[in-house]
Amino acid sequence: MKIIDCGGQRTETWFDWHLGRLTSSRIADAVTKRKRNPGEPLQAYMDLKLELAVERVTRKPAEHFVSVWMERGTELEPLARATYELRTDAPVSLVDFVLHESNEQFGASPDGIIGDEGILEIKVPKRETHAEYLYADRVPPEYLPQCHWLMACTGLKWVDFVSWCPDFPEGLDLFVCRLERDEKRIYEMEVEAEKLLAEVEAMVAQLKGGIKEVLRMSLVPRAVIPSVADASSS
């Protein structure tokens, strides 16, 4: 496993390692099979491609909306992790960022590593969302790509998807569902991801080519345009 020490997640170094890379938080938009029209990618796919290209050109992270619930989830994640460790008696180690073994343009930031085989993925959702997870008793479909990508990048065998909602009584506050590694699905995702990054590289080349053309034109001597006074005196 290629672990990158960034001095913690959400540090400046951590954001730098995310620049232009296809990470677990972005992968769903890259591999979604649905099409708005035949042969036409979803807008989310197009937005992701542009976002990655712009990050590679500007070397600055994209700006994303952060809701109150997202901020709450970040703040409560350590408590959720501690609750998982206590209830399952499974010690969790922390890593900042992991690069894919064979393609360093792919990466992931696990919420924890469990022993030698597992990954922890934590959500701290609203009460109603947590209740939906309890009722469905499965990894929510919208998070399957993220969980598979965590396994793809780390090489590990399973993910424990965790939802923690402290408003619920003990026994209902922690939902844990294990997702096992699926080699076929991971391979399919890697193929789709490589296609996307090839398109991103083409877009970067176009953007840089356009910039170079603008710079070239700015250096070309401009023709002198006669003034009105010059015209009248001739």
Q: What is the pLDDT averaged over residues 39-64?
A: 85
Which residues face 4 on adjacent strands? 97
For all residues of the chain together, what is the average pLDDT? Answer: 87
Instruction: Write the secondary structure of 90-108 as one string of H (helix), E (strand) and C (coil).
Output: CCEECCCEEECCCCCCEEE
Instruction: Show the beta-strand stretches assigned E in the chain.
Output: 2-4, 22-23, 92-93, 97-99, 106-108, 112-114, 118-123, 158-164, 174-180
Least confident interval from 72-76, 100-104, 110-114, 142-146 = 72-76
Q: What is the pLDDT of residues 163-206, one digit of tens each?
A: 999 999 999 999 999 999 999 999 999 999 999 999 999 999 98
Residue 224 pLDDT exceeds 50? no
Neighbour count for residue 160 (Cβ, 10 Å): 22
Q: Which domains does the chain have, with CATH numbers?
A: 2-200 (3.90.320.10)
pLDDT band at 57 (very low <50, low <70, confident <90, very high): very high
pLDDT band at 61 (very low <50, low <70, confident <90, very high): confident
163, 83 contact by CB (below 8 A): no
Q: What is the pLDDT averaged over residues 64-84?
A: 82
Residue 145 pLDDT exceeds 90? yes
Distance CA(181)–CA(175), nearest Å, equals: 20
Give the per-residue pLDDT at 68. Answer: 80
Give the per-residue pLDDT at 137. Answer: 97
Residue 6 pLDDT exceeds 50? yes
Give the per-residue pLDDT at 221. Answer: 54
Residue 88 pLDDT exceeds 60? yes
Closest CA to 28 of 121, 185, 143: 143
Q: What is the pLDDT averaged over residues 37-53?
A: 81
Give the per-residue pLDDT at 35. Answer: 55
Which of helix, strand or coil describes residue 197?
A: helix
- 192-200 — which CB contacts under 8 Å span 24+ positions? 192/30, 192/31, 193/22, 193/27, 193/30, 193/31, 193/103, 193/106, 194/103, 196/22, 196/30, 196/45, 196/48, 196/49, 196/52, 197/22, 197/52, 197/105, 199/49, 200/20, 200/49, 200/52, 200/53, 200/56
